[in-house]
Amino acid sequence: MGFQQGLSGLNSASKFLDVVGNNVANANTVGYKGARAEFADVYANTLASTNVQVGIGGRTSAVAQQFAQGNITSTDNPLDIAIQGNGFFRMIDPAGSFSYARNGQFQLDREGYIVNNNQKLAGYAANSDGQLITGATPQAIQIQTSNIGAQATGGSALSDAGLTLGMNLDARKPIINRGTSTVSVTGARLANAAGTSPVNYTTRVTDSTGQFHTLDVRLTRAAPQTWTVETQLDGAGGFSQTATPLTFSTPGGQITSGGTQAVSYNLSSPAPAYGTTPMNFNLNFAGALEVAAAAEAPGTVTVNDTAALNTTVQISSSNLDPADPVTTPHTYSGSYLDGNGVSHTIDITLTKAATNTWVPTIDIDGAAFPIVPTPASIVFNTNGQMVAGSPIAITGAPGAVNFSVNLQGVTQQTGAFTAGTVQTRSTPPVVATDPSSYTHSTSATVYDSQGVGHTMTFYFAKVGVNAWEVQTSFDGATPVTQPGYVTFDAAGNMNGGTEFAYTSPIPSPSGAQTPLAFNTYFTGTTQFGNQFGVNELSQDGYADGNITGLSIGKDGIILGRYSNGQNRTIGQITLYNFANPQGLQPLGDNRWAESYASNQARLGTPGTSDFGTLQSGAVEDSNIDLTKELVDMITAQRSYQANAQTIKTQDQILQTLVNLR
């Protein structure tokens, strides 16, 4: 009968209208996925021939979810998140049950959890260092609002922890000639006991081309209160004795002769095409003492480098033992960096020639440096004070290295000679208020362990064709006395001095950990014929700060922005997918539950495998095509009317049969 078919058609059309109406009602629902009514015909079971069987109507076989991508709309809420591609958010209800959603309209609750409709968003947490804990089961993400603690510069675990400064140093700038340089000799003594060795000093000096040479000065006790002075340059030719020994009046007395002695050494290598101006050196032992004592004091070596390229090697606060035999010289060693950044060693050896008289010799890079007049002697009085032989002048012709060695403060005391360590300076500290004492300068802020910022100023002085000296100042204090050097090849690329260790010279007034120590990297620094400019400046220290905002990357990583300019990972949003998303069970509130038909949820992170990416500050609109739904509504209406007409026609046929009686 036609009534059965018509009635089933009315039911199917009504269901179709229900689905279309629900889609239209949710056209503006964020994350909503439209449904589609699916129909099937109905046949009665029969044993009759199938070629004459007529169906008995239709039925709604399924209402299938359609998980096509919806449009992405930007919002003003940075916590709004849209999924671009496959995947669902996992939501955790107050009872701990899971559901899944595409609705990314999130906000923070009073405890800092990211929530939607009282459902908490799941993901990976991060530890206090900002490292994701990916090995754990994803939990509800909680945004910690506590402050981020301070970190001292150089305190991170990064391989390049510290300060990075990349720049261009102007190759067109002239070489700066400097005044006095100091080489500190610590823990060294000039012993004057019988059988001890000469005292050697080693430092480095530069010629007018900026090339380095090693100067060795050797003091040897020749007699009580008398020391011979020998010099050697670049380790060649052996030690040459100066004309006047260093003589003291008495142990503890002043120098009586040999206080200043000239030494000359001609360079063995040809002078550069642009010429070499002689360097004048004086060995200066003024103020040295020869005093009997149980221990010998440490000393310093000073190189005075004037505009005329006269350099003084200063040796002070060191002691020669009056009991030292003639046969045992003592050597002081230092180093010097030339204008091209080449390191040279200076050895100054003192050998006792007579009582209170020591003869110096000088070696530079292992080569002897002739002393004029020869021999030079350092003389002490009976009180151990140097009375002669300092400084010792070493003057050369064009192409020669000329210098002086100053043993200011050297004393003669009873006790064994002990060699010490040497620290060098090629130039004196720059004067911040005198731009002529440096070529370029720039500043950076660094932080101590309590987050207190300090200004670190870098001064760059061109000391050679391809060499620059680097001095630093901390909070406006006098620049540190131990400089660094950066050197370049002929193409202007750095080939030396890319990394320096730095220790602050003054305690922090905040009471933070002292001293502040970190590495400074000049990686990427060049020397081109262009104006000075800083291309990169970064450091890993910071003050403490409170959270000021959040940002979410396409990979789901949540970054906290802090008032100290730092960003730190707070967590990562995870996504889930299913073998059959259409098998998910709708729960309402734009959420679905896992079911047998959908299979188990599969965990992933945004942008990996087949998972989509995230877009922060946006939401995914409903995937409903309203125009299509209106057309489907008309179709459903016509279908309903047609099926009603089938019933009406069947009624008219029955009425005709009734009227036949």
The CATH number of residue 466's host domain is 2.60.98.20
Q: Give the Cα separation of 602 and 595 in Å (integer).
A: 13
Residue 243 lies inside a defined structural domain of this protein? yes
Using pLDDT thresholds of 50, 70 and 90, give the confidence band for residue 625.
very high
Same domain, 439 and 407: no
Amino acid at 115: V
Q: Which of 392, 423, 454 is the last residue of a domain?
A: 423
Residue 550 lies inside a defined structural domain of this protein? no
Domain span at 471? 163-175+430-539
Helix, strand, or coil here: 420? coil
The pLDDT value given to residue 224: 74
Q: Give the Cα separation of 402 and 205 in Å (integer).
A: 9
Same domain, 301 and 377: yes
Question: Which residue in this structure is represented by tokens 């015909």?
Answer: 41
Same domain, 605 and 459: no
**Is the predicted pLDDT of residue 508 greater than 60, yes or no?**
no
Same domain, 11 and 140: no
Same domain, 61 and 80: no
Q: What is the pLDDT of residues 236-246, one digit of tens each?
A: 777 777 767 77
Q: Which of 423, 440, 462 is the last residue of a domain?
A: 423
Question: Which residue in this structure is represented by tokens 């299979």?
Answer: 599
Q: What is the pLDDT of residues 75-128, one digit of tens each?
A: 999 999 999 999 999 999 999 999 999 999 999 999 999 999 999 999 999 998
Same domain, 287 and 413: yes
The distance from CA 540 to its chain's CA centroid, rounded to whole angstroms, is 6
Residue 586 lies inside a defined structural domain of this protein? yes
Instruction: Encode 547-585 in three state secondary structure.
Output: EEEEEECCCCEEEEEECCCCEEEEEEECEEECCCHHHCE
Helix, strand, or coil here: 633? helix
Question: Count of domains in the chain?
Answer: 4
More confident residue, 5 or 325: 5
The pLDDT value given to residue 535: 95
Strand partners, 314: 406
Residue 566 lies inside a defined structural domain of this protein? no
Q: Give the Cα separation of 160 and 527 in Å (integer).
A: 23
- Neighbour count for residue 234 (Cβ, 10 Å): 26
DSSP 659: H
Q: Which of 366, 390, 423 is the last residue of a domain?
A: 423
DSSP 264: -
Same domain, 396 and 462: no
Same domain, 396 and 294: yes
**Is the predicted pLDDT of residue 10 greater than 80, yes or no?**
yes
Handedness of CA 134, 135, 141, 144 (dihedral sign): negative
Question: Which residue in this structure is represented by tokens 């090339």?
Answer: 211
The pLDDT value given to residue 100: 98
Handedness of CA 115, 116, 119, 120 (dihedral sign): negative
**Is the predicted pLDDT of residue 185 greater than 60, yes or no?**
no
Q: Of the given ranges (46-50, 83-87, 327-331), which has the lowest mean pLDDT? A: 46-50
Same domain, 248 and 300: yes
Same domain, 267 and 342: yes
The distance from CA 323 to its chain's CA centroid, rounded to whole angstroms, is 55
Same domain, 131 and 60: no
Residue 87 lies inside a defined structural domain of this protein? yes
Same domain, 38 and 132: no
Residue 479 lies inside a defined structural domain of this protein? yes
Residue 153 lies inside a defined structural domain of this protein? no
For the question of whether the overall pTM of this predicted structure is more than 0.75, the answer is no
- Do residues 447 and 155 make contact, with C-beta atoms less than 8 angstroms apart? no
Residue 558 lies inside a defined structural domain of this protein? no
**Is the predicted pLDDT of residue 305 greater than 50, yes or no?**
no
